[in-house]
Amino acid sequence: MNQQLVAELNQELEKLKDQNLLWNPKTLNSPSCAKPVIEGKKMVMLCSNNYLGLANHPALKEAAIKAVEEYGAGSGSVRPIAGTMDLHVKLEETIARFKDAEASLYYNTGFTANSGAIPALLRPGDAVISDELNHGSIIDGVRLTKADRYIYRHKNMEELEARLKEAKEKNPGRILIITDGVFSMDGDIAPLDRIVELAEQHGAVTYVDDAHGDGVLGEHGKGIVNHFKLEGRVDFDMGTFSKAFGTMGGHISSSRTAIDYLLNKSRTWLLTGSHGPATVAASTAALELLIKGDELVKRLWENTDYYKRRLRELGFDTGESETPITPVMTYDSGKARSMSQMLFEEGVYALPIVYPMVAKDRARIRTMITAEHSPEELDFAIEKIGSVGRKLELIS
């Protein structure tokens, strides 16, 4: 190994360590669930995206086992060559049915969906307009394009309209507005209805990343497009299976023509080996569960409403959250880190979110509620958050 490179990388790691930005991931010794074993200790999990508790659901495990027995462990290739099994086709048909869309395309991850589709859709001379708090995968996807780039302040529709007018002055070939559906740090929801209205007024294309809305918002967890009753009016509805659906993979729903275009032009889809049978079959099973019933979605919201109410009654500031993503605002980075460590020692796993992930004065513990949490587990977590919050003088 080049020793100069090793020395330079060590310097960068030391900088991260000095700034308390060095990741040291905890290790799970059990399935991902509401109360997993983490580094040998049972904990109440408050930082998982497993919103519906499907990661360890019997129906998904059964589907995965059956698929491995019938199809083997892997797909053997990329999708356009020999990596498309009938399991992949069935999953895409199920996604489209769930999303009330003409067609859908299944990617390896939500990240590769954004980093593949956005560059495929934007050409030199086009314009892309993005919310300032959009996910990093959107930012990286935009960076891969040669389109003119415009940023609008978070959820500020007056500024979005100003950016639309500014972009149109350059007579672009195409204008693409991109937004997260649910913003992952604050848990607030994009005003997608107003975004679509502005897009239609100015002839722009709309693209929503609904990673944290899939399985959470809308009827049966259909997502933000259904939440705002915008079926047929949002051009690209992107999401992921790695959160509420409990498995792995990204997806994009759109018109048949648009999906056929991405199938031929999206490099991350064309050049990445496809998911194995177990993951694909389990993903289909997750969607079928939600198509058949919405009990899990209802339970998720019952737990979320109870948890938020109890925290606010204790005096905590939960920011702008409208979803199961519930920040416990500390504002001070040191208090956020201390709170996370103190909670871990008390049996609650929740991570601090500090600069540069959020502004320097917007530090928080980001907690995530699931349908799988029992009332006893929620009460335990709330009691510990309250106790630690008092010690740190966040509440009286």
Per-residue pLDDT of 100-120, as tens digits, reads 999 999 999 999 999 999 999
Sign of the Cα torsion 291, 293, 299, 305 reads positive
Q: Is 243 an active-site residue? A: yes
Report whether pLDDT(21) > 80: no
Q: Is 308 an active-site residue? A: no
pLDDT confidence bin for 16, thresholds 50/70/90: confident
Candidate list 212, 227, 251, 275, residue with the active-site label: 212
Per-residue pLDDT of 317-351, as tens digits, reads 999 999 999 999 999 988 999 999 999 999 999 99
Report whether pLDDT(57) > 90: yes
Q: Is 26 an active-site residue? A: no
pLDDT confidence bin for 126, thresholds 50/70/90: very high
Per-residue pLDDT of 202-261, as tens digits, reads 999 999 999 999 999 999 999 999 999 999 999 999 999 999 999 999 999 999 999 999
pLDDT confidence bin for 93, thresholds 50/70/90: very high
If you average pLDDT over residues 7-33, what whole number do you get?
89
Position 347 scores a pLDDT of: 97
* Same topology between domain 20-49+294-391 and domain 58-292: no
Q: What residue type is assigned to position 194 of the chain?
A: R
Candidate list 75, 130, 184, 254, residue with the active-site label: 184
Rounded to whole angstroms, the Cα distance separating 306 from 82 reads 49
What residue spans define the domains of the chain? 20-49+294-391, 58-292
Q: Where are the alpha helices (DSSP H) in 72-208?
A: 86-99, 110-121, 136-143, 157-168, 192-202
How far the first Cα of the chain sits from its last, in Å, is 54
Report whether pLDDT(358) > 90: no
Neighbours of 89 (CB within 10 A): 12
Candidate list 35, 155, 243, 251, residue with the active-site label: 243
The CATH code for residues 20-49+294-391 is 3.90.1150.10
Position 356 scores a pLDDT of: 81
Position 62 scores a pLDDT of: 98
User: Considering the entire predicted model, what is its pTM?
Assistant: 0.95
If you average pLDDT over residues 142-152, what whole number do you get?
97
Q: By the 8 A CB rule, do 364 and 335 touch?
A: no
The CATH code for residues 58-292 is 3.40.640.10
Report whether pLDDT(27) > 80: yes
Beta strands in 163-305 (DSSP E): 175-180, 205-209, 236-240, 250-254
